[in-house]
């Protein structure tokens, strides 16, 4: 069962989908919120994106929520990393008020930039019960180091992630938000809730050393899995996603 959801955050429409194993079942489900990464190309509405993963997790007995951060997909606004944190906070608030959601088992599953946002928000929100961070940067130096703010903004404008001609007000401040927003500074705040770090050994965008640094800084309980031969797009790796789903089921106490 899939429901379309539209939330309003900062006057923007944030569009998502809620997947339910069985809408007739009155028992609250353990829930996974999937957080996508920073786009690298223009959105193609014909691509299924994270839907196959959401369906796969849902078939294991989870409610699953997927959505587009501002500046991506069907959601409004412009790419703004601090705005993304407010989007996720609003999504969590929405989910915890749903009768179908077991608030004691609400997990975040983030990828790349979405993993960074998940770490940041979970460190400040005790309502999150566990976090899976896939291909998570320890900081955003792969994006910001040596970057010309205007050129980077032009790039995101060309792929449709920055849509308004007067955004951002300051290119330097916009890029500086990425510099200040470092998961390595927040990952300790997740403990004592469980954390799983998953990274590909051949990640072409975020070096595997980022995962080890995050793991070293994180508190217990924590687990790190390096998927041999996998690249940055871990949602396309069966081995990586099998590890993720098994871990989520274990911590949600789902058998089978």
Please give the structure tokens belonging to residue 170: 């300051």
- Of the candidates 94, 96, 120, the one whose C-alpha atom is nearest the C-alpha of residue 30 is 96
**For the stretch 99-117, what's the b/e string if a residue is b when 16 or more beta carbons lie within 10 angstroms of its beta carbon?**
ebbbeebbbbbbbbbbbbb
pLDDT value of residue 146: 67
Under 8 Å between Cβ of 121 and 133: no
- The confidence score (pLDDT) of residue 253 equals 82
Counting the structural domains of the chain, the total is 1
pLDDT by residue (tens digit) across 206-222?
Answer: 999 999 999 999 999 99
Distance of CA 95 to CAs 2, 19, 63, 99, 193, Å?
14, 12, 10, 9, 19
Cβ atoms of residues 151 and 173 within 8 Å:
no
Q: Using CA atoms, how far apart are residues 106 and 123, in angstroms rounded to an integer? A: 14
Nearest CA to 65 among 21, 30, 93, 33? 33
Residue 30 is part of which domain span? 2-252
Between 79-93, 112-126, 149-163, the lowest mean confidence (pLDDT) is in 149-163
User: In the chain, pLDDT over 90 holds for what percent of residues?
Assistant: 83
Band of residue 43 on the pLDDT scale cut at 50, 70, 90:
confident
Beta bridge partners of 14: 7
Q: What is the mean pLDDT of residues 174-203?
A: 95
Q: How far apart are CA 169 and CA 11, in angstroms?
A: 18
pLDDT above 90 for 25: no
- Give the integer Cα–Cα distance in Å for 69 and 30: 22
Q: 67: domain CATH number?
A: 3.40.50.1820
| Mean pLDDT of all residues belonging to the chain | 94
User: β-strand 101-111 against 29-35: which pairing, if any?
Assistant: parallel
């Amino acid at each position: 069962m899939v429901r379309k959801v539209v939330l309003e955050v900062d006057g923007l429409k944030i569009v998502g989908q809620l997947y339910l194993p069985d809408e007739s079942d009155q028992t609250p489900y353990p829930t996974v919120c999937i957080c996508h990464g920073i786009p690298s190309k223009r959105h193609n509405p014909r691509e299924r994106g994270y839907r196959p993963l959401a369906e796969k997790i849902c078939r294991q007995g989870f409610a699953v929520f997927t959505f587009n951060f501002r500046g991506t997909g069907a959601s409004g606004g412009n790419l703004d990393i601090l705005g993304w944190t407010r989007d996720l906070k609003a999504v969590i608030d929405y989910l915890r008020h749903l009768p179908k959601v077991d608030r004691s088992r609400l997990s975040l599953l983030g990828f790349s930039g979405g993993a960074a946002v998940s770490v940041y928000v979970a460190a400040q929100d005790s309502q999150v019960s566990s976090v899976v961070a896939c291909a998570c940067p320890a900081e955003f130096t792969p994006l910001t180091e040596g970057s010309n703010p205007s050129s980077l903004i032009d790039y995101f404008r060309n792929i449709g992630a920055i849509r308004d001609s007067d955004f951002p007000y300051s290119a330097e401040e916009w890029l500086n938000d990425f510099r200040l927003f470092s998961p390595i500074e927040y990952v300790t705040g997740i403990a004592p809730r469980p954390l799983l770090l998953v990274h590909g050994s051949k990640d072409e965008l975020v070096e595997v050393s980022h995962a080890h640094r995050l793991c070293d800084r994180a508190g217990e309980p924590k687990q790190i899995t390096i998927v041999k031969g996998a690249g940055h797009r871990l949602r396309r790796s069966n081995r990586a996603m099998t590890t993720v789903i098994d871990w989520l089921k274990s911590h949600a106490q789902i058998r089978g």
